[in-house]
Amino acid sequence: MTGWLIFFGTVLFILAVLMIPVRAVADYKESFSLKIKFLFFFSKTVFPMKEKEKTEKPKEQKTEKTAGEPKKEKRKMTVEEIVDMIVDCVKKYGPGAKMILRNIRFHRLELYWKVTAEDAAACGIKYGKICGWISGVFGFFRNLIKIENPKIKVFPDFLSEKDEIYGGADIEFNPLIVIIGALRMAFAFVKDVVKNNRTKSAKPRKTIKTKESASA
């Protein structure tokens, strides 16, 4: 009996802790930083992580092939690609994703975007496309997320050579609802994978005619 009481007491304690709101403070200016705050005493920087001391490893001798081959640089995803990927994920796994988003509250949302291009005409066209894209994305998320006093500023700069994006957000969410929503998304993902595998296996295989059957 005491074992069951301890078990249920532990479960209730974990649920009570998970129902306490968590605050995340994100900022971006040349580099991204993310800090998690819980209650009044816990605060931890999640990103960037502290670099651990690297142990020196013996250098391996490079072969002529590896030494001569140029290193392929990985292309970084743009802001538009990241946000569009999130929007597609919300549309695909609606119930779970919307459950998470409706639980989120933005106490601060700031975005400053300096738009540049090769010439004035190209800069104007690019500026118009970015404004239209931001308006559509913001309208999509505004229906799901509670956003307090957003500050979004996009402006063209005809003299600079490189775009500049910086901003930040102060986000509050309930961990328990996020976990439940994530489980619903995972269940929907597994369901889609099983469905796709069944449709692939159900497709009739193409029969290859042999020369004998063709001559007959």
Convert the pLDDT of each residue in 119-135 to its tens digit. Answer: 888 888 999 999 998 88
What are the phi and psi torsion angles at 113 (to 5°)? Answer: -130, 115
Task: Tell me, rounded to whole angstroms, the distance of Cα 25 from its chain centroid.
Answer: 16
Which amino acid appears at position 141 of this protein? F
pTM confidence score: 0.65
Residue 69, both tokens: 């081959």
In contact, 26 and 109? CB cutoff 8 Å: no
pLDDT at 69: 54
Q: How far from chain centre, in Å, is Cα 10?
A: 32
Strands (E), the chain: 22-29, 31-38, 42-47, 105-115, 146-147, 151-156, 164-173
3-state secondary structure 163-203: CEEEEEEEEEECHHHHHHHHHHHHHHHHHHHHHHHHHHHHC
Contact 170, 78 (CB under 8 A): no
Q: Before 70, cis peptide (omega within 30)?
A: no
Q: Tell me: the pLDDT tens digits for 120-174? A: 888 889 999 999 988 888 888 888 888 888 899 998 988 888 888 889 999 999 9
Give the pLDDT of the chain (216 residues) as one tens digit per residue.
677 888 888 888 888 888 888 999 988 887 888 888 888 778 888 877 665 544 444 445 444 444 455 555 566 667 677 788 888 888 777 788 888 888 999 999 999 999 988 888 888 899 999 999 888 888 888 888 888 888 999 989 888 888 888 899 999 999 999 999 889 888 888 888 888 787 777 666 555 555 445 454
Query: In the numeric block, which tokens belong to residue 191?
Result: 């369901």
What does the pLDDT read at residue 70? 55
Region of 113 on the Ramachandran plot (φ > 0 left; ψ -120 to 50 alpha; else beta) = beta
The residue behind tokens 């690297």 is 54
The helix/strand/coil state of 27 is strand
Q: Nearest CA to 156 among 125, 111, 122, 123?
A: 123
